Structure 1
Amino acid sequence: MEDIATYVPSPPPHWVERFAKFGLTAKGIVYCLVGTIAFMAAFRINGNSTEDASRSSVFSFILQQPFGQVLLALIAVGLLCFALWRIIQAVKDTEQKGSDPMGIGRRISYAFSGIVYGSFAVLAAKMVMGSRGSDGGEDSRQTLARELLQQPFGQWLAGAVAIGTMIWGLSQIYRSFSGKYKKSVQRAHHTRTTENILLKTGKVGYLARGVVLNIIGYLFLKAALDANPQEAGNTTSAFRFLQESSYGSFLLGTVALGLICYGIFMFVRARYQAL
């Protein structure tokens, strides 16, 4: 019987790696800014509110800086690169997740992430070209909830999206506690002190992101159960939910610091992770 050689997956092409690193850097910048503004909103610093922590507001903030149009254009390109990298991961299976149910589920999550960040890239690009985006009115998740609820079995469809979002959030929390994020740090040659700081940054960052995603999923589930798309919400809605809870400023401030940590960890991945 012929021996079967152990298959070692080949690394992705260099252009895919460049897409990923540029995209991770752009994602890190956005998360650091969202977390910073959310922290300021938690304690009413400079009059900031949770509305100022929306992505469109963050993009507006960037646009108002010196060379803001150029900076936001670079971020738009970076987010598009991240979206394309996720789509490539899903379609080409560059991480060798396979075609079993677990692997297919993981690849679907990559594709979903690609679509989400692609929409952020489009929003940033529109704002560079002079459109204000969707600062007021219905946000994208409310639009999605409304469209789903108008379909046959709409509440079931909306409920499935809500549960999927919460599963995504739980996977981020699991990633935090399981330590799966550590490989992007431990491959680099750091001092022990630096590595410990970076490991803690990643742990807190993934935990905070998981909390926000679970709140978004919960709000979407409420919209599904009540057949009311206005109850669905985005990251800003999650921040408002935290702020209106008991010890709201403390909770929102803690999660905001966690999101800053997540942004910093994206820089670490962009610099050191072997893709």
Structure 2
Amino acid sequence: MCGMVSYLIWRFIQAIFDTDKHGLGFKGAAIRGGLIASGVTYGILTVFTFGLWNGSQGNDGDGGGGSQIVDFIVSIVGSQAVAYALTAVFIGVGIAHIAKAVRKGYARHFEAPQRVMDFVHPIARTGLTARGLSFLVVAFLLFYRGLNAGGEGSPTPGVEDALSFVQGLPFGGILLGAMGVGLTAFAVYSILEAVWRRINVEDADAIGR
């Protein structure tokens, strides 16, 4: 939960202080709006995770407040309108990740010597592509949820459904293994970005004053 809270705060810092110089044009405003949406999403995930944890602490009773939080969030995300809206968001995020990998858009945010970037490129492109594809799978499942929202006893797709969906595809076992390798590469890329990311601290300080 601490990691998710830190990440959502960073997303808001990126959007408000424009650490990556996106500007206020149409494209820049769209990107910064996406960063805010990402922060809100991680905020919801944080509350959801806290609800699960808090509910697990009160197993002896009726589930307590944690269970109510989880049920409330699930009821919102399970609605048809929200499911379709999230489908569109995840499709956009998935395509953006893949485009970032293909165009090496991440490179402009790094301040590292060339020998480091030679190591970063294959890891970053693999990780971003894998994460983009995983977002597209989630988008498909959210769309499926939207089609079934409100139906009597309609299931709510989750992680197990996503993995089962991938596994059910031709060469599903290989695809699952490749996705695991790719997401591990994204984790390594995120650590490398944390070490060598270029942040416009001077601009943020100027705005803060």
- TM-score normalised by the chain length of structure 2: 0.74
Of 94, 119, 127, 2:44 maps to: 119
Deviations 1:88-107 (A, max 9, x none): 22234333323333222211
Distance 2:155 2:35 in 1: 26
Match status 1:256 vs 2:180: yes
Tell me how large the CA RMSD over aligned residues is: 3.0
Counterparts in 2 of 1:130 and 1:218: CA distance versus 1, 3 Å: closer
Match status 1:216 vs 2:110: no
DSSP-derived class of the 1:246 partner: coil
Distance 1:247 1:228 in 2: 34
- What amino acid does structure 2 have at the position aligned with 1:146? G
DSSP-derived class of the 2:78 partner: helix
Alignment of 1:88-237 (within 5 A): 88-122=13-47, 131=56, 143-147=75-79, 149=80, 154=81, 158-185=83-110, 187-189=111-113, 191=115, 194-227=116-149, 230=154, 233-237=157-161
Q: 1:84: which partner in 2?
A: 9
Between 1 and 2, higher relative CO (CA 8 Å, sep ≥ 6) is seen in 1
- What amino acid does structure 2 have at the position aligned with 1:177? V
How many residue pairs get matched? 187
**Following TM superposition, by how much is the alpha carbon of 1:211 offset from its aligned partner in structure 2, in angstroms?**
0.5
Distance 1:79 1:169 in 2: 19
- What amino acid does structure 1 have at the position aligned with 2:193? R
Contact kept, 8 Å, 2:145 with 2:157, in 1: the verdict is no
Contact kept, 8 Å, 2:5 with 2:46, in 1: the verdict is yes
- Unpaired runs of at least 5, structure 2: 58-65, 200-209
- Unpaired runs of at least 5, structure 1: 1-75
Percent identity of equivalent pairs: 23
Distance 1:158 1:117 in 2: 17
Counterparts in 2 of 1:228 and 1:172: CA distance versus 1, 3 Å: farther
**Following TM superposition, by how much is the alpha carbon of 1:231 offset from its aligned partner in structure 2, in angstroms?**
5.6
- What amino acid does structure 1 have at the position aligned with 2:78? R
Q: 2:60: which partner in 1?
A: none
Distance 2:56 2:164 in 1: 26
Distance 2:50 2:84 in 1: 31
Counterparts in 2 of 1:78 and 1:224: CA distance versus 1, 3 Å: closer
